[in-house]
């Protein structure tokens, strides 16, 4: 595990699921962690308590990432508390399932606002601090759905596909400022948002298509995240890294 002592890490959508996993793992590596979701409550307090029990430093920031005013307030709060943002993991995401011909128009807008606009807003408002300090690490959490397409998930696939281009563009813009920007394209992970949309009856059929023969686990991701946000990954940027057990090669 790379030492992240003193680094300030903001993980969006981190009260549950993979976001929680990323936040706790970064705290174990020594980072000062900023938790986020739009509701707070028991789940947020539970993650916060877990990090504090390890002796870590943690701040919870209530914000809807699809709302630029919320994101501005969140980042300002982080800067007031810690003075900088070093690491940003754009993890917050939602999905609404229906075929395109029957897709709800408001649902489309909501998915795009959270998954794509949210990543843009957080990146936009965190970048000035990273540029000021000439160091930063941004990881966008993508999906294999963006690369293969999945019937019934048009908005989710579109939003995650857009993240691939966004990742490359921002990486080019800030590469000379000590900032890297990469995307993790996740396959079917236990505890991940994508698995929430897969009926149990389809899991067995899905496993037959995964060369590794199993669904991913959160611990299959944390090592890569820890590496990407470390100094060791300073020459790796603009990349989409698939973690999917060979499902898409």
**Residues annotated catalytic, as ranges:** 156
Gap between the Cα atoms of 2 and 13, Å rounded: 23
Closest to 110 (Cα-Cα) out of 97, 101, 123: 97
Gap between the Cα atoms of 30 and 9, Å rounded: 10
| Beta-carbon contacts of residue 177 (< 8 Å; ≥ 6 apart) | 130, 131, 134, 136
3-state secondary structure of 119: helix
Q: Per DSSP, which regions of 110-227 are E strands? A: 136-143, 179-186
Burial track 191-200 (b if 16+ CB lie within 10 A, e otherwise): bbbbbeeeee
With residue 34 as reference, give the H or E element that holds it: strand 32-37
């Amino acid at each position: 595990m790379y030492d992240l002592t003193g680094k300030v890490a903001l993980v969006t959508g981190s009260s549950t699921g993979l976001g929680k996993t990323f936040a706790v793992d970064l705290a174990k590596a020594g980072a000062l962690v900023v938790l986020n979701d739009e509701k707070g409550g028991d789940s947020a307090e539970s993650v916060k308590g877990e990090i504090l029990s390890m002796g870590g430093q943690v701040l919870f920031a209530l914000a809807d990432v699809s709302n630029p005013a919320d994101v501005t307030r969140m980042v300002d709060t982080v800067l007031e508390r810690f003075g900088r943002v070093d690491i940003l993991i754009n993890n917050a995401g939602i999905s609404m399932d229906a075929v395109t011909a029957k897709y709800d128009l408001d649902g489309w807008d909501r998915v795009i606002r959270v998954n794509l606009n949210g990543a843009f807003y957080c990146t936009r408002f965190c970048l000035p601090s990273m540029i000021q300090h000439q160091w930063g690490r941004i990881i966008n959490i993508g999906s294999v759905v963006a690369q293969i397409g999945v019937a019934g998930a048009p908005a989710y696939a579109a939003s995650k596909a857009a993240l691939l281009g966004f990742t490359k563009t921002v990486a080019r813009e800030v590469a000379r400022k000590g900032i890297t920007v990469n995307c993790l394209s996740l396959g079917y992970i236990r505890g991940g948002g994508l698995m929430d949309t897969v009926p149990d009856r389809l899991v067995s059929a899905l496993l037959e298509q995964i060369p590794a023969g199993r669904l991913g686990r959160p611990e299959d991701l944390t090592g890569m995240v820890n590496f990407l946000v470390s100094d060791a990954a300073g020459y790796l940027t603009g990349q989409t890294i698939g973690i999917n057990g060979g499902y898409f090669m």
